Structure 1
Amino acid sequence: MGKKVHPKIFRILGTQQWNSKWFSKRNFAEYLQQDARIRKFLFEYFKKSSVGKIEIERLVDNIKLIIHAAKPGLIIGRGGQGAEELKNKLQKKFLDKKLKLEITIQEIKNPNLCSQIVLQNLIENIEKRMPYRKTMKQTIEQVKKAGAQGVKVILSGRLDGVEIARRENLFWGKIPLHTLRADIDYARGTAHTTYGTIGAKVWIYKGLKF
């Protein structure tokens, strides 16, 4: 079971919490799609800011965005100018004018323990045509030095441009997927290269959470 289910969903309300915090009977589908579009936009817009997680909280007439980033200064900008510009863009592109938007930016103190940021760096290196084995080893070494108890990286596709697609995985330590108290961070994404797309997955085990 632990190997089939998404590691974060499997541990919801245990070691993990919901990234979207709201409830709606009538507008559930609309809000869900809106959340997905906002997240996609923000991850692409702040590619260089190393955004790790985006939380969305909704009340009757306001929305609160909590952006967790390794480089919050790049988002905030001089005198908060960047945050204000972002607020205006999101309001125009996705939200009703009646809704009040509040943006909070929090710093990720140890980005090498955040699976989303580790994945972004891995994908960036693959897209720069760096040798995939070297990239995987570097990724594992960085996570290891950051204090993780286990890390696993999987790449699948036409690695280094070979004709037949294959799957490579590398891991260090342990990843106890069946243990519900295990604090496991997981992220997946796609690297777009000249010879096709390469799927990437990252698991980081930080220890038991009580």
Structure 2
Amino acid sequence: MGQKVNPSGFRLIIDKNKNSLWFEKISNYSLALKEDSLIRTFFHKRIKDKNIYKINLKRNISQKFIYITISTIIPKKSIESTIELKRFYIELKKILKRYTSIKLTFIKTTYPKLKPKLFLNFIEKQIKNRIAFYRITQQLLKQLPNKILKGIKIQIAGRLNGIEKARTQWYLIGQLPLHTLKANIKYFKKSIYTKFGVIGIKIWILKKIKINN
């Protein structure tokens, strides 16, 4: 019987880009973990979740510094114009009382349609507009940069197009070696709530070159 493994978790041992990087004493470990959760929840509420690709946290416990880097599809200037950064820092200091310095950086992510989470946001918007899944995938796949993309797989399950019986469909283009740890595969899954029920989507993306953002 085959075992299902999350491709991102499967590659943690060789993936150098950690979303959270810090070392804490055992007595304060649960507190640091709670702070991580509060920070991510805070940003997802203040900035639209669909615009955020990744939140990276880096701490220096001895010097009481914390570095927060947010990758979004929104340019940095537009974020600074819509959000009062001073008020932003004040609210963060209430959550992170034990830190003397907080550094916040916004980065505009490159190639948003090669990021599984952002790619699924595009699909979700089209599905809620009741556009056929086959048509959605054909349109999006034509827009992907072939010079960077090596392989992509999209799987969808549920009552597609409002049919009575649920079914599963998937599309695979190019190569996708799931058992190769060195393969730069990005994975994300999401549940979409529609009028006809819940539709689950999974996406795997393999890139030829490594993109940091």
**TM-score > 0.5 by shorter chain:** yes
- Does 1:192 find its partner at 2:193? yes
3-state SS in 2 of match to 1:180: coil
Which sections of structure 1, spanning at least 5 residues, go unmatched? none
2:178 alignment partner, SS class: coil
Corresponding residue pairs, total? 205
CA distance in 1, matches of 2:206, 2:131: 26
* Structure 2 counterpart SS, 1:171: strand
Q: Secondary structure at the match of 1:39?
A: helix
Name the counterpart of 2:123.
Answer: 122
1:72 to 54, 75, 81: 75
* Residue 4 of structure 1 pairs with residue 9 of structure 2: no
Change (3 A) 1:18 1:163: same
1:20 aligns with 2:20: yes
**Could you tell me whether the CA contact under 8 Å between 2:35 and 2:96 is conserved in 1?**
no
* Structure 2, unpaired ranges of 5+: none
C-alpha deviation, 1:203, in angstroms: 0.9
SS of equivalent to 1:149: strand
What secondary structure does 2:165 align onto?
coil
The DSSP-based 3-state class of the residue aligned with 2:161 is: helix
Aligned-pair CA distance for 1:33: 4.0
**Residues 75 and 83 in structure 1, CA contact (< 8 A), matched pair in contact too:** no
1:82-93 to structure 2, matched below 5 A, reads 82-92=84-94
2:76/2:108 contact within 8 Å kept: no
Mapped to 2, the partners of 1:41 and 1:132 lie a distance apart of: 33
Q: Name 1:156's counterpart in structure 2.
A: 157
Normalised TM-score (structure 2): 0.80
**Who wins on radius of gyration, i.e. which is larger?**
2
Which TM-score applies when normalising by structure 1? 0.81
Q: How does 1:37-186 map to 2 (within 5 A)?
A: 37-43=38-44, 45-47=46-48, 50-60=51-61, 61-73=64-76, 76-78=79-81, 81-92=83-94, 95-99=95-99, 100-145=101-146, 147-186=148-187
Distance in 1 (alpha carbons) for counterparts of 2:84 and 2:146: 33
Structure 2 CA distance for partners of 1:48 and 1:12, relative to 1, 3 Å: closer
- Could you tell me which amino acid in structure 1 is paired with residue 70 of structure 2? I
Q: What is the CA-CA distance between 1:3 and the residue it aligns to?
A: 7.1
Once the two structures are superposed, what CA deviation does each residue of 1:61-92 show, in whole Å capped at 9, x if it has no partner? 332211011223376332x8444444344444
Question: What displacement does 1:40 show?
Answer: 4.2
* Contact 1:22–1:57 (Cα < 8 Å) also in 2: yes
Task: Name the CA shift for 1:81/1:144 in 2 (closer, same or farther; >3 Å).
Answer: closer
Q: Deviations over 1:145-164 (max 9, x none)?
A: 47301111111222222222
Relative to structure 1, is the Cα distance of residues 52 and 75 closer, same or farther in structure 2, using a 3 angstrom cutoff?
A: farther
Name the amino acid aligned to 1:130. Answer: I
Deviates most, 164-173 or 54-63? 54-63
Q: Secondary structure at the match of 2:208?
A: strand
SS at match of 2:14: coil
Aligned letter for 1:28? Y
